Amino acid sequence: MIIAEREADLEKEVCREIIRLLLEGRRIEEAKRLVCSRYGLKFVPSNVKIMSYASSSEKEKLVHVLRKKSSRSLSGILVVAVMTPPLPCPGECIYCPGGVSSPKSYTGHEPATLRATENYYDPFLQVKSRLEQFKRMGHKVEGGKVKLVIMGGTFLASSEAFQDFFVKRCLDAITGVTSSSLDEAKELAEKSKIRNVGITIETRPDYCKEHHVDRMLQLGATKVELGVQTVYDEIYSLIRRGHSVDDVVEAFRVAKDAGLKVTAHIMPNLPGSTPERDIEIFRTIFYDPRFKPDSLKIYPCLVLEGTKLYDMYKRGEYEPYPLENVVEVIAQAKKMIPYWVRIQRIQRDIPARLIVAGVKKSNLRELVLKKLESEGSNCRCIRCREIGRYMRKGGTPPSPDEIKLHVEKYNASEGEDYFISYETEDRRALVGFIRMRAPSEKAHRPEVSEKCSVIIRELRVYGPLVPVGEHLEDAWQHKGYGERLLADAERIAREECDAKKILVLSGLGVKEYYYKYGYEKDGVYVSKGL
């Protein structure tokens, strides 16, 4: 007991000394090093721990210094990943771990999975604990914008009752109210202090048919993440994926026509592929009108113990190509990427000790960016151009006069898509954008197909998160860019698409924003006559 008290006193003394140095203007790394060296400590207190010993006034002065992983809110939104418990999955992919003690396709050691197991896979507890963690890290949660990402196996293969329960409890954690039904939870989410600005669901392309998309919309989803992996049927056969390229093409069209944003998971280094072939996969995904996703997650294939791929590797039937080739493949992808695509993630959160073969470096994105820099190139993806990240990397803050309207039109999935954005003229800094689609003739939703309609699939304004209702001078959110983008989209819809109606697939907590501009509820959407 006495030892514990002494340790607590020492911890407080160390943290208070670090706070004193920070208030004097010392950098965080320098302050920690000086104090820990002075006390002969073998441990270094975390930023969260230091923050816990600061007074309210000190926190206000130091939050920008101590905020852990400020990149979490640089895009203007806090992302909360929620993991489903281990559930049966229709897939038999040879590279896939998990499925018994952890969700299918996860090892059980990823940060999101560890948080899930700590909270017994309870969706309410997972969301609540993550939001509390964000608060401790110094992020503004009250009045903030939260996106839910439902991960783990194939969620849409579970029962509808389970799906309803899972999403309802996630929303209950955001609103702080225990609702009686999913419908009530969604209604409460429209007006809660913490706004749900979107729900993402991971699924397989063969679980993204019309009835699956209808189900996602009923759950409040605004985005679907599809496990595409490749664009070759022979590789699908080799890896026992269980669906075809045609399923992928259909999934893209059905999802986009319904207004969902589409993220494609791409897996270089699969059996049957080569670096040259993988580069061609990215070229196909970006420029073949059958595909053209809005964003990508790039997960190079890994050999993990307990998988069928591991058995192939042990028998000498599979050998992943080396790290330098993986870096080259992704660098080539970044060179050719269109301005309207965002690379959300490169590499999975799997500890290196679990990887038998494949990329073990945890900084793959940095290695790719260094290669591009050494070649005098840069990435054009949305993430690399977001205004918050651009300024964090040392970019000169542009003046409002330097922000220009850009409009790109492209054919995709049998329809026409528009990427309407406000960026600097050289397109190095992106403030905000709208994705608008004139859907294909096969669009199945009655709200979309009943008259000549267009649908806004996404409206984003970037920069550090600004809570709802607040206005910060040096921020980019809440400065009228959303209103300007909406007006531009409506004008283009009238003049170029001859549309009579414009719909928006909006996050639950964003619907009120559109009501201000004359939009009304229209099934799962909000819409307005033109």
| pLDDT one-digit tens code per residue, 225-239 | 999 999 999 999 999
Please give the C-alpha separations between residue 234 and each of 166, 167, 242, 246, in angstroms, as whole numbers.
36, 36, 11, 13
**Which one has a higher pLDDT value, 115 or 262?**
262
State which H helix or E strand residue 146 sits in: strand 145-151
- Model pLDDT, residue 476: 64
Confidence check: pLDDT of 468 > 80: no
Confidence check: pLDDT of 367 > 50: yes
How far is the C-alpha of 31 from the C-alpha of 267, rounded, in Å? Answer: 42
What's the whole-number mean pLDDT along residues 427-451?
94
Please write the tens of the pLDDT for every residue from 88-110: 788 899 999 876 667 777 887 88
Neighbours of 261 (CB within 10 A): 21
- Model pLDDT, residue 470: 54
Nearest to 298 by CA among 267, 270, 262: 267
How far is the C-alpha of 271 from the C-alpha of 424, rounded, in Å? Answer: 42
Confidence check: pLDDT of 517 > 60: yes
Check whether domain 221-385 has CATH 3.40.50.150, yes or no? no
What percentage of the chain has pLDDT greater than the value 90? 68
Extended beta strands in 413-467, E state: 415-424, 430-438, 453-461
Please write the tens of the pLDDT for every residue from 123-174: 999 999 999 988 877 778 888 899 999 998 789 999 999 999 999 999 999 9
- Expressed in angstroms, the distance from the first to the final Cα of the chain is 72
- Model pLDDT, residue 388: 85
**Which one has a higher pLDDT value, 76 or 9?**
9
Looking at domain 387-529, which of 3.40.630, 2.120.10, 3.10.450, 1.10.3120 is its CATH number?
A: 3.40.630
Residue whose tokens read 């819809």: 493
Please write the tens of the pLDDT for every residue from 245-303: 999 999 999 999 999 999 999 999 999 999 999 999 999 999 999 999 999 999 999 99
Confidence check: pLDDT of 60 > 80: no
Q: Please compute Rg for the chain using Cα positions.
A: 24
Taking a C-beta distance cutoff of 8 angstroms, is the pair 296, 340 a contact? no
Domains 221-385 and 387-529 share a fold: no
- Model pLDDT, residue 474: 54
DSSP 103: -
What's the whole-number mean pLDDT along residues 391-402?
86
Average model confidence (pLDDT) across the chain: 90
- Model pLDDT, residue 1: 46
Confidence check: pLDDT of 198 > 80: yes
Taking a C-beta distance cutoff of 8 angstroms, is the pair 309, 318 a contact? yes
Taking a C-beta distance cutoff of 8 angstroms, is the pair 116, 170 a contact? no
Confidence of residue 372 (pLDDT cuts 50, 70, 90): very high
How far is the C-alpha of 402 from the C-alpha of 165, rounded, in Å? Answer: 47
How far is the C-alpha of 435 from the C-alpha of 216, rounded, in Å? Answer: 19
- Model pLDDT, residue 408: 98
| Domain boundaries of the chain, sorted by first residue | 2-66, 69-203, 221-385, 387-529
- Model pLDDT, residue 260: 99
Query: Mean pLDDT lowest for which of 37-46, 69-78, 345-354?
Result: 69-78
How far is the C-alpha of 215 from the C-alpha of 221, rounded, in Å? Answer: 9
What's the whole-number mean pLDDT along residues 42-54?
79
Confidence check: pLDDT of 211 > 70: yes
Show the DSSP H helices in 410-480 as ranges: 446-449
